[in-house]
Amino acid sequence: MAIRRATQAETNQILQLSGKVMKESSMGYAVNSVQNAYQLFMPVLQKGGYFLIDLENGLLRGWILLAADYNTVKGEVMGNLLSAYVFPKFRRSGVAMDLAIAAINEFKGLGIRTIQLNVFEGNPSRILCEKLGFKPVSTVMELDIQ
Res 110 pLDDT > 80: yes
Identify the pLDDT of residue 113. Answer: 96
Question: 17 is in which domain, residue-wise?
Answer: 2-131
Per the domain annotation, does 112 fall within a domain? yes
Per the domain annotation, does 143 fall within a domain? no
Per the domain annotation, does 142 fall within a domain? no
Inter-CA distances, 117 with 63, 84, 114, 136, 146, Å: 15, 10, 10, 10, 29
How far is it, in rounded angstroms, from Cα 18 to Cα 32?
8
CATH number where 63 lies:
3.40.630.30
**pLDDT tens track for 28-59:** 566 666 677 767 788 999 999 999 999 999 99
Per the domain annotation, does 23 fall within a domain? yes
Identify the pLDDT of residue 46. Answer: 95
Per the domain annotation, does 145 fall within a domain? no
Per the domain annotation, does 146 fall within a domain? no
Number of domains into which the chain is organized: 1
Please list, in sequence order, all residues whose beta carbon lies within 8 angstroms of the beta carbon of residue 24, skipping any fewer than 6 positions away: none
Inter-CA distances, 43 with 48, 65, 99, 108, Å: 9, 12, 22, 23
Res 22 pLDDT > 80: no
**pLDDT tens track for 121-136:** 778 888 889 999 999 8
How far is it, in rounded angstroms, from Cα 146 to Cα 126?
30
Per the domain annotation, does 102 fall within a domain? yes
Q: Which residues of 81-92 are buried (b: 16+ CB within 10 A; e: fewer)?
A: bbbbbbeeebee
Identify the pLDDT of residue 24. Answer: 64
Identify the pLDDT of residue 28. Answer: 57
Per the domain annotation, does 144 fall within a domain? no
